Amino acid sequence: MALKIRLKRVGKKRNAHFRLVVSESSMAPTGRFIEEIGIYNPTPEEAEVRIDEEKALEWLKNGARPSNTVRSLFKDSGIWADYIESKQ
């Protein structure tokens, strides 16, 4: 079972916001998920990003692989650097 951390689209047409979820890679991106670890809303003037850092690091240490977009959100918030530091 391969786990992915990815974005799940929610919201209305032309007013999307996203949830960061942990799910199996075989599931549809908008399908079932194991746990929600944050939100990402790109529509306001400054994008709103709220990520539960402890849960994110726990899932990364357990082998969940982030999508490219989620990895860039992790890098912007400093979670990715903490993960790399903890691996060494």
Q: Does 88 or 19 have the greater pLDDT score? A: 19
**Which CATH number covers residue 35?**
3.30.1320.10
- Global pTM reads 0.87
Distances (CA, A) of 52 to 1, 4, 20: 23, 16, 10
Distances (CA, A) of 35 to 13, 23, 52, 73, 86: 25, 7, 11, 18, 22
In the structure, what pLDDT confidence band is assigned to residue 55 with cuts at 50, 70 and 90? very high
Total domain count for the chain? 1
Backbone angles phi, psi at 62, to 5 degrees: -85, 0
Residue 42's domain comprises 3-87
Average pLDDT over residues 25-30: 76
Q: Does 30 or 76 have the greater pLDDT score? A: 76
Average pLDDT over residues 3-29: 89
